Amino acid sequence: MPETIEIQLKKGVLTLCVLALLNRRESYAYEIAATLADAIDMGEGTIYPLMRRMQSDGQVETYLVESSAGPSRKYYRLTDAGRRALEVQTAEWRDFVTAVEGVMNADADPAPPVAIAETAERGAEQ
């Protein structure tokens, strides 16, 4: 079964969302996952592989913080490469949103569905 557009959009912006959260403050993976679950209904299991990839790509680095309530927590913080990635991805996201909004809000009347089907049939006959 094909994925819905909502799932595809979430996957597409997940890295950007994590970069934005970490730009605000350093955090641990469960807290990031909980924030994204509340904000965009993203599952917790998606975050851990992403955090490993972002670390191997040099966008984040980790450090351990002792916890009185259990084991130490692995915190993530942005690196310079992560901050640059955030800038680039933010600009790309804004350009994309502007382009999609332009298409959706265009003043031109859409072609009727029949015209599209007739055009396709003529192309197939040639």
**CATH code of the domain covering residue 51:** 1.10.10.10
Q: How many domains does the structure of the chain reveal?
A: 1
Question: Band of the pLDDT at 123, cuts 50, 70, 90?
Answer: low
Given this model, what pLDDT does residue 111 score? 61
pLDDT score for 125: 57
Share of the chain above pLDDT 90, in %: 64
Measured distance CA(123)–CA(1) in Å, rounded: 30
Q: What is the pLDDT of residue 67?
A: 84
Host domain of residue 57? 5-125
Residue range 36-47, pLDDT digits in tens: 999 998 888 889
pLDDT given at position 94? 96
State pTM to two decimals: 0.78
What average pLDDT does the segment 50-69 reach? 95
Q: According to the model, what pLDDT value does residue 33 have?
A: 95
Start-to-end CA distance of the chain, whole Å, equals 34
Angle (nearest 5°) at CA 19 between 17 and 24: 100
What per-residue confidence (pLDDT) applies to 51? 96
